[in-house]
Amino acid sequence: MFDQTLDAAGVLERASGAIGADGLTSLRYTATGTEYIFGQSARPGGPWPKYSFDLMITSLNYETGSWSEELTGQRIRAEMRGGGEPSLPRGTTYAKEGYSWSQAGAKSYPAPWHAENRLHQIWITPHGVIKAALRNHAALQWQTQGGKSSAAMSFVEPGRFGATAFLNEEFLVERVESRVAVTYYGVLPFVTTYSDYKNFGPVKFPTRIQRSQGGFPILDVIVKEVQPNVAIDFEIPDSVRQSSVPAPKKAVKVADGVWEIPGSHNCVAIEMRDHIVVVEAPLTDDIAVAVFDAVKREIPNKPIRYVVNTHHHIDHAGGLRAVVDEGATIVTHALNKPLYQGYLAAPRTLASAGLAQAKQDAVYKTVDDKLVMSDGARSVEIHHVRGNDHAEDLIMVYLPGEKLLVEADAFTPGPPNSPPPAQADAFAVNLVENIERLKLPIDRILPMHGPIVPLQELYRAVGGIH
Ligand SMILES: [Zn+2]
C-alpha cells in the first residue's frame, strides 16, 4: 500500500530514488521491435503503417534536452499500404533546442514539424518524466483502479506539452499519458507504458516500451541494453537552423495562368477569372503561408478561394489551418471531412488552448469520384485516384486546357536521366490504370515531389505498360 501521507515532492523523491534519476544526466538504450509511421495511414483515420527493425539506438541528454534515434540493420515494412516509404533515407533523427532533423550521410533534412513531438519524448521517459514533474511542480492524485493503486503526477511544461505519470507501489513509472501539438491534428494524446523493469548499473529501466499516438500504436520495443551517463552531444547543423524560418518562395510559370511553387512539396496555383485555386498546403502553417504569399505576388488582386488537399498525410495536410485563416475553402476527398472537422476544432497549441482555434470556421468542398470547378473559360478537374494503396482518399488535379496532371505520391519521378526503378512501383501502376480508365489526354505530369516530366516518364517508370 502507498503511504498516502506523502506529498507530491515526497512521491517524486521516492520515484527518483527507485530508478536512480537524481544523478542521471544522460542515457542511451538499444531496443528491437516495431515502429509505425505517424500521419501516413492508408485509410483516413486508420492505423499508422508498421515497420519492424533490427536495432533502434535512442540517446537522451537530460541536461541539454537533446534526443536522437538511429536505426541500424534491417527495417522491413509490414505491408505496402500508406505513406512513409521514405523518399528520404531513414538515417538518424535528431531533436534539440526546438529544432528537429534527420541526417543521412552528409545531408541534413530539417523537419521542424516533428520538433515538439520528438523533444517531448525526452521528458516522457521514466527518468525524464520525473525530472520534468519536479521542475514543473507536478500535482499529485492518489488513484485506485481495479484494486490497483497508483500515484498520478500531472504537470504542464508551459507551451510545450502536458503529461501525467502513473507510478506503481514500487514508485516505478508504469504509464505516461501526454499531449503535444502536432500541426493540423492539433493537440494529440500519447500513451506510453513501461514494464519489466531491470537494473542496469545505477539505474532501473523498463525492458518493454509500448506507445500509441493519436489512438494507434506508434512503438513497441524490447529494450536490450541501457548505458547511463554516456557522452551524448551533437551540434545543430547551420542548414537546419536556417530552414526553421521558411524562406520566401518563388512561383514559376508552367503554362498560361498556371504556376508551380517549387519546394520539397511542389504546390500549384491556377488563376481563374476572379479567384485562385491552389493545390496543397503542405507541412506547416508557416510554410503554407509562404506558399500563399508567393502566389499573391504573381497573381495580385485575386483571392485564394480554394486550396485542394491531395490527401490526408501529415506532410500534405500540415498547413490546413493556414487555409482556414486565409478564408479559403478546403477541397478534399469526402472521407476526410469528418476527420478534419475534428482535428481543426482541437486546440492548435497547448500554450493557448481555446484561444488559438482557427480564426474562422473551416469550409469544405468534398470530392467523391469527380469534381469540376469552372469559371466558364478554364476548368479544373479533380479525380479520385481509385484503389491507390498509398492513400484511399488520394485525389489528383487535371487541367484539360493544358493537358497537365498534378498528382501527389502516386508517382515521384527520379532526377533527370535516372534509370527506371528495377521494380515498377505499385502506386505508379495504379496511377496509370486511373489515367487510362479516365482516358485523360496528358502531355506533362507536375508531381508534388520531383521535377515536371512528360507523361512518357510515368510509363518508363512502370516498365512501359500501356
Ligand atoms: Zn502521402
CA distance 290 to 152: 43
Angle between helices 126-135 and 8-19 (to 10 degrees): 150
Local confidence band at 109 (pLDDT 50, 70, 90 cut-offs): confident
CA separation for the pair 318, 348 (Å, rounded): 12
pTM of the model: 0.92
Residue 324 CA to ligand 1 centre (angstroms): 21
* Cβ atoms 155, 138 nearer than 8 A: yes
Confidence of residue 110 (pLDDT cuts 50, 70, 90): confident
pLDDT at 97: 93
The whole-angstrom separation of Cα 45 and Cα 61 is: 34
The rounded Å distance from CA 289 to ligand 1 centre is: 21
Supply 455's cell numbers.
507523361
pLDDT (tens digit, 9 = 90+) per residue, 261-285?
999 899 999 999 999 999 999 988 9
What pLDDT does residue 353 have?
Answer: 39
> What's the rounded Cα separation, in Å, for the pair 341 and 214?
15
How far, in Å, from the CA of 274 to the mean position of ligand 1?
Answer: 31
Q: State the distance from the centre of ligand 1 to the C-alpha of 180, rounded, in angstroms.
A: 23
Q: How close is the Cα of 212 to the center of ligand 1, in Å?
A: 21
List pLDDT tens digits, range 48-100.
Answer: 999 999 999 999 999 999 999 998 888 888 888 999 865 555 779 999 999 99
What backbone phi and psi angles, to 5 degrees, belong to 315? -75, -20
pLDDT over 60 (residue 440): yes
Banded pLDDT at 327 (limits 50, 70, 90): very high
Strand intervals (E) in 229-345? 252-255, 258-261, 267-271, 276-279, 304-308, 329-333
